[in-house]
Amino acid sequence: MANGARQIEAARTLMAHLAQVLEADLWVRLWNGERLPLGSNVTSELGLTICSPAAITRLIRRPRLNTIIELLTAGDIDIEGGTLIDIAHKRGQMRTKGLFRRIDKVLAAKALWPFMFGQAAVSDTLAHQGERKTSVEQGRDDKALVQFHSDISNEFYALFLDPEMLYTCAYFPNWSATLEEAQTAKLDMICRKLRLQPGERMLDIGSGWGGLICYAAQHYGVKAHGVTLAQEQFDFANARIARLGLQDSVTVELKDYRQVDEWGAYDKISSIGMFEHVGIDNHDNYFMQMHRLLRPRGLYLHHAIARPAKRDMKHFRRQRAEYKALTTYIFPGGELDTVGMSINGLERHGFEVHDVEGWREHYQRTTQLWTERLYANRERAAAEIGWPKTRLWLLYLAGCSLAFERSAVGIFQTVASKKTKGPSGLPPTRARLYTQDM
């Protein structure tokens, strides 16, 4: 029997065994077009396609998460009929408990043997190739790291974001709200938490495409200034400001937050989804800079993703495979802290913390909707940035949604003020956030 025929027969044997063990409502399509069920009663249109035996060979030789990611992004393995979220949600219907124990190891080894010495699939990597220093003192280049992620294509981001181009967690007044409604609710909640007043000076660190600074100026009458390191976001924000006629009240600069030198000039500062880029080794300098830029009792809103705490920093900074993949392919230089570390950092650098709110389920919903939108627009996305990067982003957004769903990560909004003696000036309850006339 020729090796190609042996590989087909081996794949059939292995999938038949997995079908008995898993009883999954999924299927696998082989490179010859043959569709094999992974259960005895498969009705789903959802499944995996293995496009060549070389994909199995590569996975056997290098059984790592990065190998799976690169096989998926290259299209050597493909998800049909849905996304990673759909695959993951099928897990609850499978017989996964004690899976490794129930697999016949001898049968599996014999089935995989014909693939052992074949040619492995080869694909170009989408991993970040530049240096990723942990601190500015070591020569960390935040601009290059940020632009790797943000300057893909404004047209690409528009395929899954809302019309205001808000690339941070939305806030759902109810779970049936649309993404557009939830993103507007997020903007308004930020402005209310900051207690913005007409004429105040507001600074937005990592201002993206300018959605928040324009909204704050239009609806709360502030003088808003944003800084970003992403060139395409900067260009888009300036065009938006001109289109809305906000040149007298909104400005934006292509500048590192460390280079903002108007110390004590700002009444309010927001940092929405930017802190994740800073890196733990740079947190002290970051909070010191926020403290310098705020006036006494000025308010700072800190909106950031966080990981659950570990028993010590050595264990906390040990990265799991999923985390390493995220910083390799999507967010080079990115690093998450814990909500406790953020609060500790604020207090150690002269802030008084007033309010902390968890938004984990809001971000799960946001990233799920982003995944669905990008999947629906995947042909247009591929025309814009290519199929490999489109597949990578579908994996990334779906993976984020699953991480928030499973509480592997959280996200928190923390409101603090630049501490001085005496009253904070804040109302006695949170009712002001939910009642329009307070």
CB 17 within 8 A of CB 94: no
pLDDT value of residue 120: 79
In a 10 Å sphere around its CB, with 0-12 CB exposed, 13-18 middle and 19+ buried, how is residue 66 labelled? Answer: middle
pTM of the model: 0.93
- Owner of token pair 């990067």: 389
Q: Which residue intervals of the chain bear CATH 3.40.50.150?
A: 136-433
Amino acid symbol at 297: R
Residue 260, both tokens = 């903002």
224, β-bridge pairs: 202, 250
Residue ranges for the chain with pLDDT beneath 70 = 1-2, 131-140, 436-438
CB 156 within 8 A of CB 374: no
CATH number of the domain located at residue range(s) 136-433 in this protein: 3.40.50.150
CB 399 within 8 A of CB 392: no
pLDDT value of residue 438: 41
- 3-class secondary-structure state, position 97: coil
Across 395-406, b (16+ Cβ under 10 Å) vs e yields bbbbbbbbbbbe
Axis-axis angle for helices 387-405, 360-376 (nearest 10): 150
CB 127 within 8 A of CB 328: yes
- C-alpha 138 chain-centroid distance: 26
State pLDDT tens for residues 193-241. Answer: 999 999 999 999 999 999 999 999 999 999 999 999 999 999 999 999 9
